[in-house]
Structure 1
Amino acid sequence: GTFLVRSGVLSSVHAFASDPGRGLFILALLALAAGGALVLYAWRAPALLAAGGGFAPHSRETYLLLNSALMTAATLAVLLGTLYPLVLDAFAAQQISVGPPYFELSMLVLLLPALLAAGLATFTRWGRDRTGRVLRAVGAPAAGCVVLGAALPWLLFGRWSFGAAAGTALALWVLAGAASGPLRQWRSGARWGMAVAHLGVAAFILGLSYVNSFGVSRDVRLAPDEAVEVAGHAFTLRGVDEVLGPNYQARRAVIAVAGPRGRQFTLAPEKRSYFSQESPLTEAAIDITPLRDLYVSLGAPLEDGAWSARVQFKPFVRWLWAGAVLMALGAAVAALRRRRP
């Protein structure tokens, strides 16, 4: 992604400077990082057979290998969807676009079994295990994850969604696997890195499921002193002021928001006009809590002092970023932990 965007092959919605001259440097840097990892894998591969003499088809190693293969396939699916329009345009002079349906379906097909394998691997022994023992070990946790997964979205949002229920059950399944294991491994710190990383995976799944299932985006008309309700919040336009910034002038709306449980606050989105360019830009106002983000973007002025606006309600969206941080932290803990003999 870095190479494709910064070299100018692809355009991005983010404000990256396009510099084709940097493409070769970035490509060499990525080749060094990826090539170093592949060399390390090739160097350490003989140690796997030398240490354990291989592993049976039904073992923790098998599920870890399956998980890695599925994650690699997901990466290739994203790369294919990104590059296929460019290749088709270059060799067949046909222009197409690959949209969200392709990426959503490919990720669902590949990551669903990967998450199931991630939870199942923690219940399975190294080297070899018996199917009957594993089924007995996962029976109660799996049933609990399904029941809680079906109930939790209703308790949090007052309505039910199959996607949210399935995502919650998967997140709980990953957590259940991370919490399993002998007590001595927890005391020695052998499972802390894995547990933190799996906690991050669970947080990411919850955030993704709830944003897609319960997120709201509406274009509304905000008239002075008239309340408009979106996602359980009442928005009232109190006025629009002219403001002058260091390199722009703007019209700033003052919007009073009444949220659930009596919480009240004010949002101030802006429509900015920078001196260096003609087209106006929108500066969204955001209210952040651990369980949701609320965005208001100012549109165009309407008659009678009203304004158009876009209101977005994104539940658990911060959990996506928190999950990524926890996954990286878990990897660091696992890498830095001093192994005991």
Structure 2
Amino acid sequence: MALDFVQLAPEMGQFALILSLCLSAALFVLPLVGAHYGSNVLMQSGRSLATGFFIFVSFAFCCLVYSFLHDDFSVKYVASNSNSLLPYYYKISAVWGGHEGSLLLWILMLAGWTFAVAIFSRSLPLDMQARVLAVMGFVAVGFLSFILFTSNPFDRILPIPPQDGSDLNPLLQDIGLIIHPPVLYMGYVGFSVVFAFAIAALLTGRLDSAWARWSRPWATMAWGFLSVGIALGSWWAYYELGWGGWWFWDPVENASFLPWLIGTALIHSLAVTEKRSLFKSWTILLAIFTFSLSLLGTFLVRSGVLTSVHAFANDPERGVFILGFFLVVVGGSLTLFALRAPVVKGSAGFNLLSRETFLLANNILLTIIMIMVLLGTLYPLVADALSLGKISVGPPYFNLFFLPLMGLLCLLMAFGPLSNWKRTTGLQLVNLLWKPWAISLVIGLVFPLIYRDKYEILAALTVFIASWIVTALLADLFYRLRNSDSFFAGLKKLSLSYFAMVVAHAGIAVTTVGVGLTSIYTEQRDIRMEVGQKVTVVEYDFILNKLTHIDGPNYTAEEALITVMKDGKFLREMKPQKRRYLASGSTMTEVALDVSLFRDLYVAMGEPLTETAWAMRVHLKPFVRWIWLGALMMGFGAVLAVADKRYRKAIKQESPAVEVPVGKLVNE
């Protein structure tokens, strides 16, 4: 019986995907028709259709997992990305290790978010929920059509399948593949929910504080997942690729960073729309552009136009399909926005010194940064397409623009929480911020003196900016608690959304410290190490004790045993490896790390020089962990924001705006 299911699993998965396409098409059409004609039955069908869509996609995904676990190499995708010697946990993660499976994971995440909207948005007006689910159904139709017609993971190799698979790319045989893509895709796809809310608002004309309150937790949660997903990718590249870096401005890295930048602007703009009914049109545009950039990232990764360690090199026809869908989504949504823009204008005002102004400045800076990254990413592709030659845009370009703009953005972060809505006096800001400014200046100037012998002005500036963010947050906290009976009683009165803001902004400060100090103070040496030889890097001594041959489950390796000493005292042993994978013959470097909160020791093996000597790369990387710690804090801040009780209240009673038919606007 088990054998029969192994043979049938691909066909059952294929059938489940076809049923999913039918259900998503119905989800696109029926609730939308019901909302137009006021049919409760059709509008309520959206929840059932969303549930069925999720169930069948989940079943198809499980069928593909089953085929991998049982080494069904008659399935082309399994044969290309697995091997009988591959450990079972890598067989599971190999499901999304290639193009077809990662696309199926994308669709599974989309189905999960759609199901979540159906379950957790019951308090929405029925017509709004129906339109939101219909838009999600439209997105699902596009991606299910893509996978079924161009990228089917269940295609067979018949009549004679291979006896064994080609193996999973050695770069992907790591825990990073297990956790990074699912978390990143949760962020990518999560912005489809906000996009759906935006389109539903344009269709109904219901774009008010209630709409922003409905949309805000979905945007915040997607942003949190994307923040953590990007950080996991950086962490994975850091220890897996062997070069010791954590970000290279790779085009595919940029593809995930672009929606994060605009998503950050979106969650701040939603706050203004919710609190003050301002920036409505701008918020809608941000929601459209955030999801559009997620689609653009999908196109860049899957079209074959990029050469990257992250990219899937595939048939360009797939890229044409994604590009066409991208143009339909962007063109259609912007056309709808142009027709409906007169309905969504805000009329409230605010002074130059106000929280609205600072949040607007935040949005403008984030948008400029996004455009700068987008131009640097796409310009080489455009130049190549226009036969202008092969042009490379690397870290010098990005750092030239990105670092000053992000520094300015971080400096502005202190003003937002301490300013009032509508109007703030300059005297109030001065009284609240002069102490944080003075404390931060002292910390920034003193830090390089006590940390290293050589004074680095950039280190002083980095620590000043990070301290400025944190001390301003503390000043705001104490200002809010000034009239409380006790410190803890005052804390209880503050909302979870406020603590979410504090944690997320503090996470930005922590990441700033990590990025700045790691870039400035990293020590690196490429050396020859002989057995018994001692090499000194800063205050650490590295001694190569012996070389050992290792036989792994699907690889062989040479392992170096290195003793690390500090001030003549034993610190720890490190065991870097150079692996050769049996199925593919590929070689990979497995670095050895000694990690702590304030520094990493990093050792990677290069190439053998003699029987007893190897080329080695040794790094001392201060504060590098702070990069990812800050991102985790941002993700935790997102969780706190979504947990705020305001977003769990029933909001059916919110007064909706009057619906304006699209035809009326066209006629006007």
Helix, strand or coil at the partner of 1:74: helix
Helix, strand or coil at the partner of 2:573: strand
The structural deviation recorded for 1:92 is 3.4
The structural deviation recorded for 1:202 is 0.6
1:315-326 to structure 2, matched below 5 A, reads 315-326=622-633
How many residues are paired up?
Answer: 337
In 2, distance between residues paired with 1:192 and 1:261?
Answer: 45
| Residue identity opposite 1:234 in structure 2 | D
1:47-196 to structure 2, matched below 5 A, reads 49=346, 53-181=348-476, 182-183=480-481, 186=491, 187-189=493-495, 191-196=498-503
| Residue 241 (1) aligns with residue 548 (2) | yes
In 2, distance between residues paired with 1:294 and 1:30?
Answer: 47
1:187-208: CA deviation from partner (whole Å, max 9, x where unpaired): 3225211100111001100000
With over 3 angstroms needed to count, the CA separation of the structure-2 counterparts of 1:255 and 1:261, relative to structure 1, is closer
1:293-308 to structure 2, matched below 5 A, reads 293-303=600-610, 305-308=612-615
1:289-332: CA deviation from partner (whole Å, max 9, x where unpaired): 12222211111222472221001121111111111121122133
2:277: which partner in 1?
A: none
In 1, distance between residues paired with 2:535 and 2:375?
Answer: 43
Contact 2:432 2:475 in 1 (8 A): no
The structural deviation recorded for 1:25 is 5.5
The structural deviation recorded for 1:28 is 5.2
Helix, strand or coil at the partner of 1:180: helix
Helix, strand or coil at the partner of 2:511: helix
In 2, distance between residues paired with 1:108 and 1:269?
Answer: 34
The structural deviation recorded for 1:134 is 1.6
With over 3 angstroms needed to count, the CA separation of the structure-2 counterparts of 1:241 and 1:260, relative to structure 1, is same
| Residue identity opposite 2:361 in structure 1 | L
Helix, strand or coil at the partner of 1:127: coil
With over 3 angstroms needed to count, the CA separation of the structure-2 counterparts of 1:18 and 1:93, relative to structure 1, is same
| Residue identity opposite 2:465 in structure 1 | L
In 2, distance between residues paired with 1:49 and 1:301?
Answer: 68
In 1, distance between residues paired with 2:453 and 2:604?
Answer: 27
Helix, strand or coil at the partner of 1:191: helix
In 2, distance between residues paired with 1:59 and 1:89?
Answer: 46
Contact 1:5 1:11 in 2 (8 A): no
Helix, strand or coil at the partner of 1:277: coil
In 1, distance between residues paired with 2:382 and 2:409?
Answer: 29
With over 3 angstroms needed to count, the CA separation of the structure-2 counterparts of 1:13 and 1:293, relative to structure 1, is farther
2:309: which partner in 1?
A: 13
Helix, strand or coil at the partner of 1:235: strand
Give the % identical residues. 35
In 2, distance between residues paired with 1:237 and 1:7?
Answer: 45
The structural deviation recorded for 1:163 is 1.4
With over 3 angstroms needed to count, the CA separation of the structure-2 counterparts of 1:225 and 1:45, relative to structure 1, is farther
Contact 2:444 2:463 in 1 (8 A): yes
> Structure 2-normalised TM-score?
0.46
The structural deviation recorded for 1:248 is 1.8
In 1, distance between residues paired with 2:575 and 2:470?
Answer: 39
The structural deviation recorded for 1:152 is 2.4
Contact 2:436 2:475 in 1 (8 A): no
In 2, distance between residues paired with 1:255 and 1:93?
Answer: 50
| Residue 329 (1) aligns with residue 624 (2) | no
| Greater helix content | 2
In 2, distance between residues paired with 1:276 and 1:26?
Answer: 35
Contact 1:192 1:333 in 2 (8 A): yes
| Residue identity opposite 2:427 in structure 1 | G
Aligned counterpart in structure 1 of residue 619 of structure 2, from 312, 325, 339:
312
Helix, strand or coil at the partner of 1:286: strand
> Structure 1-normalised TM-score?
0.87
| Residue 230 (1) aligns with residue 525 (2) | no
In 1, distance between residues paired with 2:323 and 2:568?
Answer: 51
1:193-204 to structure 2, matched below 5 A, reads 193-204=500-511
| Residue identity opposite 1:293 in structure 2 | D
| Residue identity opposite 1:13 in structure 2 | V
With over 3 angstroms needed to count, the CA separation of the structure-2 counterparts of 1:65 and 1:263, relative to structure 1, is farther
Helix, strand or coil at the partner of 2:414: helix
User: Cα RMSD between the aligned structures?
Assistant: 3.2
With over 3 angstroms needed to count, the CA separation of the structure-2 counterparts of 1:238 and 1:263, relative to structure 1, is closer
In 1, distance between residues paired with 2:343 and 2:351?
Answer: 17
Question: Which of structures 1 and 2 has the bigger CA Rg?
Answer: 2
| Greater strand content | 1
Contact 1:251 1:271 in 2 (8 A): yes
With over 3 angstroms needed to count, the CA separation of the structure-2 counterparts of 1:267 and 1:199, relative to structure 1, is same
The structural deviation recorded for 1:180 is 2.7
2:589: which partner in 1?
A: 282
In 1, distance between residues paired with 2:593 and 2:439?
Answer: 36
The structural deviation recorded for 1:99 is 1.3
| Residue identity opposite 1:5 in structure 2 | V
With over 3 angstroms needed to count, the CA separation of the structure-2 counterparts of 1:335 and 1:285, relative to structure 1, is same
In 2, distance between residues paired with 1:18 and 1:112?
Answer: 36
1:217-267: CA deviation from partner (whole Å, max 9, x where unpaired): 210111221210113211000011111122222211111111369451111
Helix, strand or coil at the partner of 1:11: coil
| Residue identity opposite 1:318 in structure 2 | R
2:523: which partner in 1?
A: 216
1:64-89: CA deviation from partner (whole Å, max 9, x where unpaired): 11011111211121111011011011
With over 3 angstroms needed to count, the CA separation of the structure-2 counterparts of 1:237 and 1:263, relative to structure 1, is closer
The structural deviation recorded for 1:171 is 0.5
The structural deviation recorded for 1:32 is 7.0
The structural deviation recorded for 1:13 is 2.3
In 1, distance between residues paired with 2:445 and 2:341?
Answer: 44
In 2, distance between residues paired with 1:322 and 1:211?
Answer: 14
In 2, distance between residues paired with 1:45 and 1:60?
Answer: 25
